[in-house]
A and B are shown apart, each in its own frame.
Chain A
């Protein structure tokens, strides 16, 4: 497969772009692999890529029931940041940020990482104190963070509502300058191409429907394309984690919920950074095509339907208008939903399970896109070495029984509140 470069773009253009080769193969599944990864989203593909690249395990299949990136990877609002403060999260997300910063070069694929900066707005003195604390923890860990007062936020983001009648007055903001966005599809495609080049078989339109068992150990998967044996099976199926765990007899601290995203009609450049409202769950950025990308709350009840209801559309747009009154006459072009594996403390799992041969990457809630590189990297490590890397050592299933939840938001075991 060819290397992408400015020269290859130029030469192919001269020939009318007739000679581009497909970016990854479309193989039939082999009867047996060393590792089978279930789920062809960013996490599954990244896991296969790092297993092959870092650990020399190349006899791998990634099995996807639909098409690559058709799950949450292709449905998210693409925000990438590392402003976490709980031990267990902080260094994991910073590893991910560092991998993002070099990802396009590493994959020879432009994932369009754009470090445009992210503001988390504060609307009360208490929120400013909490932001200061978070920022200090980040800086103590070598992660960039700045705290801005109201005047500085107003200078930088003049289009927010600073009027006397603003429903939630802006007191300031915590800012991470290295945060930003990336192109979601490109992340799936880049990892797919990278993994394929290292020999990984990517098998689409193939659903895992059960496991092959041998004396209480999982030794492969049943699929709609037949049985595939595997030394180890890794799950990276996001919202479907509960379903695939159930087939393995595991009951998990996870509920599946729908989250929506929204895009408006395109505008000229207006919102350069990513902005998160601090008074309600709402955030906004602008895509390269000019559409404003909006995100908000979960629909609020267990759901495996990849579509959302209208009450949350109204709720999200009300937040948008409270923050940026100038948006009021914009039209929404599209909205859609993905199904999220909401964990009971809002933090993920990258871990071995109590079933021999089965490894779990899940519980990403609505924050797993930014985690994609580090989740793949750490999951690959865990599968290859049969033990976690220090950066994912806290992402276990038994943290709940040990009393070591990683509750970044401090809302307790209520998955629809994280």
Chain B
């Protein structure tokens, strides 16, 4: 069980959250016309073995989107902040 430290609700079980994937992926500007950038955004991932910055949605809590650091090899959970607050 991952224990996620929601900045609003405190430390809660992973089962209250929905995973949102790699948080370093940035959507291109809406007028971007280079297909490669859209391809990278929609499909390609770094998929690191180690530190990972990722989205979690506190669906059964404050319903905020969070950005959390987690190690994909050890599952060690690190810093967590609200996605709407730039880090």
| Interface positions of A (Cβ within 8 A of B) | 240, 242-243, 246, 251-256, 300-305, 309-311, 344, 400-401, 413-414, 416
Nearest CB on B from A407, distance (A): 12
Q: Bound complex: CA of A328 vs CA of B40, how far in Å?
A: 46
Select from chain B the residue with minimum beta-carbon distance to A341: B47
B45 touches A251 (CB 8 A): yes
A254 touches B45 (CB 8 A): yes
A256 touches B72 (CB 8 A): yes
| Interface positions of B (Cβ within 8 A of A) | 1-2, 13-15, 19, 21-22, 35-36, 39-40, 42-49, 52, 54, 70, 72-75
Given A302-B47, A302-B72, A309-B1, answer yes or no on A251-B40 (Cβ-Cβ < 8 Å): yes
A254 touches B47 (CB 8 A): yes
Nearest CB on A from B48, distance (A): 8
Instruction: List chain B residues, Cβ under 8 A from A400.
Output: 39, 42-43
Q: Bound complex: CA of A416 vs CA of B73, how far in Å?
A: 17
A to B CB contacts below 8 Å, 14 in the list: A240-B49, A243-B47, A251-B46, A252-B44, A252-B45, A253-B45, A254-B45, A255-B21, A256-B47, A302-B54, A309-B2, A310-B1, A344-B43, A413-B43
Q: Bound complex: CA of A74 vs CA of B23, how far in Å?
A: 33
Q: Bound complex: CA of A304 vs CA of B71, how far in Å?
A: 9
Select from chain B the residue with minimum beta-carbon distance to A252: B44
Instruction: List chain B residues, Cβ under 8 A from A251.
Output: 40, 44-46
Task: Tell which of B1, B21, B48 touches A311, judged by Cβ atoms closer than 8 Å.
Answer: B1
Instruction: List chain A residues, Cβ under 8 A from B13.
Output: 311
Q: Bound complex: CA of A246 vs CA of B46, how far in Å?
A: 8
Nearest CB on A from B36, distance (A): 8
Q: Bound complex: CA of A344 vs CA of B42, how far in Å?
A: 9
Q: Bound complex: CA of A414 vs CA of B20, how far in Å?
A: 10
Instruction: List chain A residues, Cβ under 8 A from B19.
Output: 300-301, 416
A302 touches B52 (CB 8 A): yes
Instruction: List chain A residues, Cβ under 8 A from B49.
Output: 240, 242-243, 256, 304
Known: A251-B44, A303-B75. 14 other contacts (CB 8 A): A242-B48, A252-B44, A253-B45, A254-B47, A256-B49, A256-B72, A302-B21, A302-B52, A305-B74, A344-B42, A401-B35, A401-B36, A413-B42, A413-B43
Instruction: List chain B residues, Cβ under 8 A from A401.
Output: 35-36, 39
Q: Bound complex: CA of A401 vs CA of B38, how far in Å?
A: 9
Nearest CB on A from B4, distance (A): 11
Q: Bound complex: CA of A130 vs CA of B40, how far in Å?
A: 32
B43 touches A305 (CB 8 A): no
B39 touches A304 (CB 8 A): no
B46 touches A304 (CB 8 A): no
Nearest CB on B from A38, distance (A): 15
Q: Bound complex: CA of A416 vs CA of B21, how far in Å?
A: 9
Nearest CB on A from B10, distance (A): 19
Instruction: List chain A residues, Cβ under 8 A from B22.
Output: 255, 302
Query: Which of B36, B45, B48, B52 is packed against the most chain A CB atoms within 10 Å?
Result: B45
B1 touches A242 (CB 8 A): no
A252 touches B47 (CB 8 A): yes
Instruction: List chain A residues, Cβ under 8 A from B73.
Output: 304-305
Query: Which of B21, B49, B54 is packed against the most chain A CB atoms within 10 Å?
Result: B49
Query: Which of B2, B15, B35, B43 is packed against the most chain A CB atoms within 10 Å?
Result: B43
Select from chain A the residue with minimum beta-carbon distance to B74: A305
A305 touches B14 (CB 8 A): no
